[in-house]
Every structure is written in structure tokens, then in C-alpha cells.
Amino acid sequence: MRNTRGVILLKGLIFILAFYLISCNNNPSSIPSIAISSNTRFAIEEIVDSFTLKTGQELKIITGSSGKLTG
């Protein structure tokens, strides 16, 4: 069970890193935002915390229902 959690965390970190690299801009004071569905908030918060500890880069989490995020 723990190995599965580790794989999920690793995939999440890779996704966040890819998102961060894609969303880079020339404004160093901006904090990248990640839109997620409400039911994934707790898992993503753990991933974001790990990402911030490893990189020093903060990320802003925006939650909502999946229908509102894509609509």
C-alpha cells in the first residue's frame, strides 16, 4: 500500500513540476496557480507541500467542482 502512495506522490510531483515549467513567466513575484477539483484537495495539498519544501517555490491551489473548473 505504501509503494502505491509513493508512486502517486511521484506522479503528482512530476505533474506539478511540468505545470510549473510550462507556466513560468518573467514576473518572479507571481505564484503559479493550480486548479483542482474539491475532492482531490487533501492529496494535492500534500504534494504541493512536498514540492514547496524541495524547490522553495510556492503554489496556489484553487478548488472547485470539476464541472465549474472545465466549463
- Asked if residues 31 and 58 have their Cβ atoms less than 8 Å apart, the reply is yes
Residue 24 in 3-state DSSP? coil
pLDDT score, position 26: 56
Q: In one letter, which amino acid is 50?
A: S
Task: Give this prediction's pTM.
Answer: 0.51
Closest by CA to 62, choosing from 54, 53, 70, 50, is 70
Rounded Cα distance between 6 and 3, Å, is 5
Q: What is the pLDDT of residues 23-41, one digit of tens each?
A: 666 565 678 888 888 888 8
